[in-house]
Structure formats: C-alpha cells, structure tokens
Structure 1
Amino acid sequence: MREPYDDRTGHARGMTRRQVLGIGGALGLMAATGLSASAALSRRPPITGAELRSAVPLPPAFQVPLPLPSVLAPVSTEGGVDRYEITQRESTAEILPGVRTPLWTYEGTFPGPTIESRRGRPITVTHRNDLPVPTVVHLHGGRTPAASDGYPTDLVLPEGWPDAAHLRRTGEGGHGPEHGMHGMRDPRAVLTELTRDYTFPLDQRPALLWYHDHRMDFTAPAIWRGLAGLQIVRDDAEDSLGLPAGRRELPLMIADRAFAADGSLDYPALDPTLRERPGVRGSYLAGVLGDVILVNGAPWPVHEVDAARYRLRLLNASNARHYEFEAVSDDGRRLDLVQIGADQGLLAAPVTHRRLPIAPAERYDVIIDFSHLPVGSRVRVVNRLGSGRTRDVMAFRVVRKAADDSRIPRTLSNELPAWRRSDAVRVRDFSFRAGRMRGGHGWLIGGLPFDPTRSDVTVSLGDVEVWRLIADVHHPVHLHLVGFQVLSRGGRPPLPHDAGLKDTISLRPGESAEIITRFDGYRGRYLFHCHNAEHEDMGMMANLEII
C-alpha cells in the first residue's frame, strides 16, 4: 500500500525535515548509505522534486480551448530531402488568460512547430540561434548520426557570444576544447556560430519524437522556458491500419510550469541569465515541479470531440513531474485507455489500461472511445499522482454524433525485434543515485558525475547487451540512438505499460530493472542519462561510445 504523499513537496507526508533534505534537498542520504537504503524508499510515491507556487491568479480548469501546434512547412523538398528552417528566439505568449509570458521558443511558439516526416525520407533542419545563450538541439527518440544527435557540448553560439573568438582560436575546423560551462573542457566539441544543420535520415519505425534543448548544465531551465517541440514519423504500413486520423489524432505535450508575479515563468535557477552558474536552489535539487498543468501550452484545456474514437499521442515534457492518467466521465465512468504504441512506435498488439503512468520524456500512443457517451458528456483526464490543481490535466466535451470507420486491429506491428537474453554479448550494471560532485551535491551514474571527456561505455556496432539498472529515488532513464525492451522489474515480469520498444524507462524508488537492446545504426559518441532534467544537469549523464 502506498504511503500518503504531499504533492507540493513530492515526499511522503509525515517525513521529517531531515528525511526530506536527504531525498530532495541536501541529497546526503543516498550519498552516505548508497543503494542499501533503496529498499527503505521503495514505498515512496513516484514523485521526486519540490513544487513552485504561482504568484498570479490561475484560471479555472477546462475553460481554455486546446491549441494544436502548427505543422512546419519545408522550405525545400528537392533531391528527396525535406529541408526545414527553425529560428530559436525570444517571444511572448498569453498562456494564462490576460497574462503575457516571456518565452524562449522555436519559431516563436510554445510548443514549437510540429515536423511531419516519413520513414526513410531524410530531413535537414537548419537551426538559427537568436537567443542570448548557446543552445544544442536533440531529437529525442531519433535514430540519428552522432554529428546531429545534439551532444551537450556541440554548441550553436549566438552572434557575438563573448567566448566565440577564443573558442575559434583554440581548435581547428570549428572544434574547440572548451565549451565554457562548469569549467570543463571537451576536445571533441563541435561549435558553430549562429546556425547549424541537423540531418535526420529517419531510418526508423513510425513514432512520436520530440526535439528539445540539450545544452550541458542548462537543459532543465531551457526546456522550462519553452524549447520543446514535436516530430512525428509516419509510414504506409501504419497509415493502412485504419487508426483514428486527421482531426481525431491529437498530439498532446503535457508539462507543468509555475508563474511569477510579473507573468514570467518562475524557475529557481542560481543564475537566471543561464550564462555562467548552473543549478537550482537547494530545495529543488531533486527536481522542479510547477503548479499549473499545460497541454500544448494551454492551462487545463478543454477539447470538443465527436462521439467517436480518438488517438492521443501523449508526451510528458515535464522536467520532473510524473503522472498517472485516468479518463473519467462526469457521471463517474472510467474509460479504457487502449495503448497502441510506446516511445519507439507501435506495439505488437493493443494493451488496455484504466490508469497509465507516464514519466518525464516517455510517450504513449493511446486510443480513447467516446462513441458510447451521450452528446453533452464531459470526460476529464486526471492525474492520480496529483493533488489540488495538479490533479486535473484536461477535459473532452462530446458535442456531436458522427460516423466513425476507424478501428483498432488485433495485430498492430510484426516488426518488433525478438532479442533474447542468450543474444547478449555482455551484461552491465548501472546505479542511479545521489552523491557528491565537484564539491557539491549532485546525481551520479555508477558513482560518477558526467564528464564529456571520459568514455563510460564502449560497445561494438551490432552488439546486443542486457543492462541492469537500479535507482535510489525515481529516475526516468533514457538511451540515445537505440530503442530497448524491458525484460524485468525487480526480478518480476515487466508491467503492462512496459510493452513495445522504448527509449525511456521509469525506474521507481528502490527499483531495479533489466533492459535489452542492440546497438546498431551509427558509430560515434552518444549518451544515456536520467530525464529528470534537474538530475541530468547535475551530473546524471554518461557517455556511450559505439565503435
């Protein structure tokens, strides 16, 4: 049985201040006792972090219409390659009714524009950095060559960045040994000024991907300020399944935020300019939570639907908040959430849930059927891990009867890999826990904080490996380049929502898990890391070298 918890702090009610500091503040508990203390935390709720409280009046739930991100048009389609241009720039938007909020954006909007792409048709995206700090773009879930994967030191420098001349002098061909963050040097860093071309071959299964900033030490505040957008990969096989489509397919980027008294996004950065000193104030070291739930940039929105099936493409783009979704009608009926896909595309067969947990950076592809509801019905999507205002997410209102020829096939995909334990050439163990780094508090993988110059894991192209992961508190672990399958949790079979091919696994407090993957696609330097963005910025990343 779960202990009661306080959604404001993210910890169990009744915990002492010493215990709270040990998990979410000073982080000393895990550093002192290591993973032996994990069992004691196994009953804690799957929330890690502290919540900011907005200083402006918040609107009632379910009044703002759900916006849908615009679809970006290519500037060229010549030569079998779709070419796009995106400018990263400061903008303002009316997120809360009547309140103007400054943002960092892709193309002036939050979320950024959606890129619609086809499997096997390459795209190139030219990013221009008109922001006041360096940036990096990572296509999360992309099967991407290392040069375009968005390694955290491969910076796009803004025009006139004060260190640019020095960086050019200290390397050849745009390679500089120093990226200017946290005093670290990276001789392999690739720096460009103002613009950079990112090339994505899209040799991968159809799936919902997302792109976001990945700059070393400052990923969390950059995403918080708005640097996130969607990319959808499609193919003919998926199109032929008869799944809900068109206006009955809804991409939903879900993220929490908090607002300061002047309407700006509140964030506890030690350096609000995001130029020099990384990190957050002590009580937020375990993760930053907001008290406003945004869906596609709108607070607790409502969307009018037909009495028909809808396909919801769900992304948790929150820095640290976990959700457990449930769809409930106003008369108390719970609607099935039929999962058809995971991070890396379609499942082999549908899986039906009543509640669906989703950690930061995870994606779920689900179908919800409104056909049995009378016109005028309302269905709320609620977060069973929330309390107060964070318990509500969004609502659907059934406004008309309509024909529906969509279907949910019993077989969705027959191209999932069939990896077996016996295929693995090695088994590796990784611990994800709090600890000390550079004289302060941080988050470590295998007892070490991130260092871009250190090779943590080296694998040969094509190798199959089993990784055993163990956590102290909640850590959503993400692998770049490859998808994986979950073999076990705590020595038991995977959970129902672990089905399919994933690139992010949500480790619960005190939990161990096994995953299996094949390291194919491309050679080069990649990453694996916790996708609690504050953990990531404070050391919880490691290098993955594919040779």
Structure 2
Amino acid sequence: MTPDLRAVDGQAAGPAFTRRGALRLLGLGALAAAAVPGCSLLGGSPQPQLLASAAPLPKPFAVPLPIPPVARPVRTEGGTDVYELTERAADVELLPGLRTRIWGYDGSFPGPTIKARSGRPVVVKLVNRLPEPTVLHLHGGHTPAQSDGYPTDLVAAGADREYAFPMRQRAATLWYHDHRMDYTGPQVWRGLAGMFIVGDAEEEALRLPSGDRDVPLLICDRSFAADGTLLYPGLEGKPGVLEAYMGGVLGDVILVNGAPWPELRVARARYRLRLCNGSNARPYELATGRPLVRIGTDGGLLAAPRTVDQIRLAPGERADVVVDFSAYKLGERVELRNLAAEGAQGKVMRFLVDRDEPDDSAVPSRLSSVERLDPARAAVTRDFEFTSGSLHGGRGWLINGRPFDPARMEARSRLGDVEVWRLTSDVAHPVHLHLSPFQVLSVNGERVEGPPEWKDTVELREAQTVEIVTRFTDYRGRYVLHCHNLEHEDMAMMAGFEVV
C-alpha cells in the first residue's frame, strides 16, 4: 500500500506512536536531534531547507480557489453551539491529475471553517479515526487549560474528546490545528488544520466586506512524490527530521486553501482577505504591487486601518487586509506574490477582475478600541532565550538552554497579573504564546510606535530581542510558549508555564 506520507528516502514517515508511560512525559521531542549518530548543526544553527518535489510542479493560476465549507453545529444546548470534527484519512486531488492521501478534519484539507461569535460558547467534539494520537489546539483561542491542547493531552486513535471554547474574546481570525508533542510538524503537514473565525457586534457594525467578499486564505507549502504522495523528511521509527531539515522544512508547492497557486474571480469591489500562514517553516512577504489596507492582526481589529505595501507573516501569524478591486479594470489580473522567495515559491495566487457589482462596504477611519497594556504595572519581567544547543549527545532546539519537559513549568504567573516577557533568538523563531494575547513593546530596544495591536505570535528575526507585555485572565492551569516553526517545536523548542 502506498504510504500517506513519504520520507525523502522513500520510507513512510510518522511512525506508530508506541512509546508509553514516563518516557513519553520526559520531552522525547528533545531526542529527535540525537536520532542520527554524530548529529551536528554543521557549525551553527541551521536554516530552513527546501524539499524538492519529484512530481512536476503544476502550472500556476490554472485551478480555482476552493473555499472550505462552513461547519454547522450538530446541536445547540443552552446557548452553546456543539460541533463535531472527525479526523480521518482521505484521498484528494491537490495536484491536478494526482491523488494525495491526507489526514483531514472531516477528511478535507483545510478542514471546515468554524464561525463563532464572541460571548457564545462553542464545544468541539473531536473524533479521532486516524491511526495515531492527536491533540486539538485553537490557535489564538482564549481557552481553559483543559481545552487548550496541551501537547501530552492526547486523543488516542479511535477515541474522542470534547473541547470547550467559551469565546470570551473579541472578533478575530483564528485557526485550529494538531498539537501532538513531537509530531505536530508531520501531522499538520498531512493536513490537520482549518480556519476558525470569531465575529462580534462591533465588527459587524463597521460595514466591512462580508459574505462572499470575506475570504479565508490558509497559505502553506508542501512537497510531493511523483505519484502525488506528500513528501516529508521524517525519521523512521522516531520523531524528528533528517539533519539537513532540522532548521525547518520548506515545500516547493504553494497551496492556498489546499489548491496550488489558485485563481479567484472577483468583482470590481472591496474584498476582505483573512490571511493565515499555515506553513511549517516558511515566512511570507505578501504583496500585490499596490497598497494594501491592513485592518486586523492575530488578535483582531486594529484601532485604525493602516495602508502598507506588503504584509510579512511568519508561521502561525494572521492578518486581515482589504483590497479594493474597483481600482482595476475589467479583465485585469492581480497577482499575490511572496517577496520572501523567488521562482515558483515567489507566487501565491491570482485574482481575475471579471465583473461589475454594487458594493456598499466601507473601511472606516476608526475600527476598534484597543486597550494599551502598561508595562509599568508588570509584576515581573521574564527572559526566554530561543537557541540551538547541545542535547543528549547531539544538537537540538532549546528555550533557556533546556528542552521541553511537559512536567516542568518554566514560569508560574498569577491570574490577573501583567508581565513583560523578553524573547531573544539566535536564528528566526516565530514565537507563539498560548492563553493570553500580548502586545509588542520593543524590538532590539527600540519602542514600537503607533497604536497597540493584539498578537499571539511574533516573529523573532535573527539575533533579535523582542519585549512583549501580556495579562493573564480568566483561566488557571498549564499552558505553553513555543516556536511555531513546527520542526523546531517538535525538536523541543517549547516551555510550559502555569497560571496560578
């Protein structure tokens, strides 16, 4: 039988989860770096590497952009909407003319989009019909600890679990994905990701583009074997990747909503694009050649719209932008490009302006009120250093010189406290904080100008220090801080913290 995920040596990647008990609780992702005897980082911290497909790359802009279906509640109980997502394998067409075995929520990639409303609780029942354990994480969710997707809170093959999301948060573009310890990279690569959109009355009153002109765009990269099988440089029988890819895996096919370099036909009207970087390791600098109007970030609306030439998104980051296609003539083609890459990877998708339609949308000069957290009120300042380092006779990815141990808490923060966290990098690391959104205070000692923005993921560039300020509200329990380069995350670049 053809494996559903093939390593570059032709062997199936992502082995059965066979380790049990205490060993699983000792941060075995840390061992991945030592999986190859004499493993080294070639004299320094590695960079992400391109994994070339054996399949011919498809022609760009030859397939239409698919829009993932919107999930419907299976029932409503006392004002709580209950959804059911079944994780299962499916054979789908990602590359034209080839079939690819994916792991998907409801057998699709991306999974169905869940649309929720601020203040209206959501429960997601996750049913695992895959041969491996999984964990569900709502990325950007303000979530009780028992439903946050702690990496060892596994849903075994054949089991199910309910996740409760109270939705005590403002309107924002979120996404959900697998978060299993040691195996997030290959399991998200297989397809375990989807969009989750939160709305509220404030946003609805703004007359922003809506309906078919509110478009989720989950952008990622993948590589393919000649028969269409997903390629991934995993190790056989253990977590981690081949040494050459320890810096992160870059695919050579850019997918948007699961389609390679697609095209979307648009009217001469405003469109809201909800951009999400769902790649394992690839950053994007998105541009159309004309100004973009940015209206939102990870944590929801900005205080006011900002006109920019390009949008940089590290893995895990999101941005909401409005593009006014009335500025283009009928028949014009508008290409969304990735300025951080060249060749085929420098293309993302294309828009074809093909009709006139009425448009009563607007982008007001004021979008929202964004509270500014005061760092002077911080109860403590904490330091977190993200580096490669020695680990079990090899090399790995560490926070404060230590690999992830799910039983160890690197910090204990009091409920209600404001804290400043200082994050420092060796190479680029997109850092994601669970539970609480934050605001960026400074980059390499220089204060960030302008109104505050709510974030849950921030990109540390090479040899950079970023200060963030956050406040821990509503929920006590265990959470994590980690690098969202998924190969780094799987190889131990994660730290637990507890809100007490």
DSSP 3-state at the match of 1:48: coil
DSSP 3-state at the match of 2:327: coil
Of 336, 340, 356, the match for 2:291: 336
1:461 matched to 2:461? The reply is no
State the alpha-carbon separation in 1 of the partners of residues 62 and 175 from structure 2. Answer: 27
1:409 matched to 2:409? The reply is no
State the alpha-carbon separation in 2 of the partners of residues 148 and 204 from structure 1. Answer: 15
1:301 matched to 2:262? The reply is yes
State the alpha-carbon separation in 2 of the partners of residues 451 and 432 from structure 1. Answer: 15
Deviations 1:269-291 (A, max 9, x none): 002xxxx5100001000000000
State the alpha-carbon separation in 1 of the partners of residues 203 and 44 from structure 2. Answer: 45
Where in structure 2 are the equivalents of 1:118-129 lying within 5 Å? 118-129=117-128
DSSP 3-state at the match of 2:231: coil
Partner of 1:59: 58
Shift of 1:29: 4.3
% same residue: 55
Partner of 1:487: 441
DSSP 3-state at the match of 1:115: strand
Q: Which runs of 5+ in 2 are unaligned?
A: 1-38
State the alpha-carbon separation in 2 of the partners of residues 254 and 533 from structure 1. Answer: 15
Amino acid at match of 1:279: G
Deviations 1:202-243 (A, max 9, x none): 010111111111000000000000000111110111001010
DSSP 3-state at the match of 1:361: coil
Amino acid at match of 1:352: T
Partner of 1:387: 342
Of 472, 477, 484, the match for 1:519: 472
CA contact under 8 A between 1:88 and 1:108: conserved in structure 2?
A: yes
Partner of 1:199: 164
CA contact under 8 A between 2:40 and 2:394: conserved in structure 1?
A: no
DSSP 3-state at the match of 1:224: helix
State the alpha-carbon separation in 1 of the partners of residues 68 and 394 from structure 2. Answer: 40
Partner of 1:437: 391
Shift of 1:518: 0.5
Shift of 1:437: 2.3
- Structure 1 residues 495, 445: CA separation in 2 closer, same or farther (over 3 Å shift)? farther
Of 176, 179, 186, the match for 1:221: 186
Deviations 1:110-138 (A, max 9, x none): 00001111111111111111101111100
State the alpha-carbon separation in 2 of the partners of residues 28 and 439 from structure 1. Answer: 15
Of 398, 404, 411, the match for 1:450: 404
Of 2, 17, 40, the match for 1:26: 40
DSSP 3-state at the match of 1:158: coil
Where in structure 2 are the equivalents of 1:25-424 lying within 5 Å? 26-27=40-41, 29=43, 48-159=47-158, 194-271=159-236, 276-327=237-288, 334-414=289-369, 416-424=370-378
Shift of 1:495: 7.3
CA contact under 8 A between 2:41 and 2:243: conserved in structure 1?
A: no
DSSP 3-state at the match of 2:187: helix
State the alpha-carbon separation in 2 of the partners of residues 377 and 342 from structure 1. Answer: 28
CA contact under 8 A between 1:437 and 1:539: conserved in structure 2?
A: no
Shift of 1:409: 1.0
Partner of 2:28: none
Shift of 1:387: 1.2
CA contact under 8 A between 1:335 and 1:368: conserved in structure 2?
A: no
Q: CA RMSD in A?
A: 1.4
State the alpha-carbon separation in 1 of the partners of residues 485 and 47 from structure 2. Answer: 9
- Structure 1 residues 476, 495: CA separation in 2 closer, same or farther (over 3 Å shift)? farther
Deviations 1:130-164 (A, max 9, x none): 101111100110000000000010111113xxxxx
DSSP 3-state at the match of 1:283: helix
- Structure 1 residues 28, 470: CA separation in 2 closer, same or farther (over 3 Å shift)? farther
Deviations 1:306-333 (A, max 9, x none): 1111100000000000110110xxxxxx
State the alpha-carbon separation in 2 of the partners of residues 369 and 129 from structure 1. Answer: 42
Deviations 1:55-75 (A, max 9, x none): 111211111100000011111
Deviations 1:370-408 (A, max 9, x none): 112110000000111111110000000100122211111
Shift of 1:423: 1.0
Q: Which runs of 5+ in 1 are unaligned?
A: 1-24, 32-46, 160-193, 328-333
Partner of 2:12: none
1:426 matched to 2:380? The reply is yes
DSSP 3-state at the match of 1:110: coil
- Structure 1 residues 347, 224: CA separation in 2 closer, same or farther (over 3 Å shift)? same
Partner of 2:14: none
Partner of 1:16: none
State the alpha-carbon separation in 1 of the partners of residues 350 and 74 from structure 2. Answer: 36
Q: Which has the larger strand fraction?
A: 2
CA contact under 8 A between 1:342 and 1:499: conserved in structure 2?
A: no
DSSP 3-state at the match of 1:95: coil
Amino acid at match of 1:247: D
Amino acid at match of 1:489: V
DSSP 3-state at the match of 1:536: helix
Shift of 1:425: 1.1
Partner of 1:183: none
Amino acid at match of 1:217: D
Runs of 4+ more than 6 Å apart: none
State the alpha-carbon separation in 2 of the partners of residues 500 and 309 from structure 1. Answer: 23
DSSP 3-state at the match of 1:152: coil
Deviations 1:448-501 (A, max 9, x none): 1100111111010011011111110000000001100001111123378x9510
CA contact under 8 A between 1:28 and 1:434: conserved in structure 2?
A: no
Shift of 1:417: 2.2
- Structure 1 residues 147, 384: CA separation in 2 closer, same or farther (over 3 Å shift)? same
State the alpha-carbon separation in 1 of the partners of residues 49 and 425 from structure 2. Answer: 19
State the alpha-carbon separation in 1 of the partners of residues 392 and 152 from structure 2. Answer: 19
State the alpha-carbon separation in 2 of the partners of residues 48 and 248 from structure 1. Answer: 37
State the alpha-carbon separation in 2 of the partners of residues 81 and 495 from structure 1. Answer: 40
DSSP 3-state at the match of 1:127: strand
State the alpha-carbon separation in 2 of the partners of residues 538 and 301 from structure 1. Answer: 33
Deviations 1:322-351 (A, max 9, x none): 110110xxxxxx221111001010011111
State the alpha-carbon separation in 1 of the partners of residues 81 and 118 from structure 2. Answer: 12
